[in-house]
Amino acid sequence: MSTTKVRRLGTDKPPTRVSRMMQNKWAGVAGLLIALLAPFVNATPYALSVMTSAAIFVMLAAGLNIVVGYCGLLDLGYVAFFAVGAYTSGVLSTRFDLPLLVTVPAVIVVTVIAGIVIGAPTLRLRSDYLAIVTLGFGEIIRITANNLDVTGGPSGIYGIPHLVGSPVIFYYVTVVVVSLAVLGAARLGRSRLGRAWRFVREDEDAAEAMGVHTYRVKLAAYIAGAVWGGLAGVLFASQLSAISPGSFTFLQSALVLMAVVLGGMGSMPGVVIGAVVISILPEILRGLADYRFLLFGILLIIVMLLRPQGLWPARSKEVS
């Protein structure tokens, strides 16, 4: 009679209290409750703005985690899809007087097309070459938006309508949308397609030999990440009601990638925590004026040295 053993990769030690907490299925529910109760603690306009920006940043990190964490594709130009989503909704809502919600289907279509246009010729590359090309595409999108009349040029687009009038209600709408996006990304990671992404990440040649169409699988990850980034762009445009090329620089892509690495690549709970830390920590250190980014960088280096695998690393299982 054979028995099936499930062992954790990377450790033969018994689970600690921290590891058991990380594997608790209620951790996500606890995080959602914290987000929902936060306005009852502090509902000032500044606090709501910071919390809404953090939620949007979580959605960006969840999208990039599909590309980098699940599939292992180093993307340094992810902000391009963020810009495509924001500009698509901004142009349609201001030039055709459409409610922002009506522009969402168009944003999804445009970001899918952008993912195919950018991903199709580049995903045959690997490692550093892919990173350099995606960085170039991210800059191309920003420079294009900076030089087109339809996007408002350097001044950008102003007067974008809000999804809802109240900042508190908009915060809750954002939390709900981001929660669904995070849940959807986590479900994708556990699906058959998600397993194919992990095979490609671990050994692309072996995955190809086992019958996985690696190019299609990578393109699917890239398109999924593009849609997540585009929808985050809609929320961003609604929050600020104005967008410009200066909001979509390489620094934004680097910060999102930093959140994924800090939280733990491939770990959706870790990515959420990493995104919250990256987005809120500079605001907590704002009282230090010009030194806050110096201390911010030092703290990140310390965390990376102490937790190189991330704050909440992914724990995969295999059956033997």
N- to C-terminal Cα distance for the chain?
Answer: 15
pLDDT (tens digit per residue) in 204-223: 888 888 888 888 999 999 99
pLDDT (tens digit per residue) in 14-48: 545 555 555 556 777 888 899 999 999 988 999 99
Q: Give the start-end residues of each E strand in 5-81.
A: 6-8
Pairing of strands 317-319, 6-8: antiparallel
Question: At CB < 8 A and 24+ separation, what contacts does 161-169 make?
Answer: 161/93, 161/99, 161/100, 161/238, 161/241, 162/100, 162/238, 162/239, 162/241, 163/100, 163/101, 163/235, 163/238, 167/45, 167/48, 167/49, 167/52, 168/39, 168/43, 168/48
Q: What does the pLDDT read at residue 21?
A: 53
d(CA 41, CA 255): 27
The pTM of this model reads: 0.88
* Structure token pair of residue 71: 């599939």
Instruction: Report helix, strand and coil shares of the chain as percent, to nearest 5.
Output: 75, 5, 25
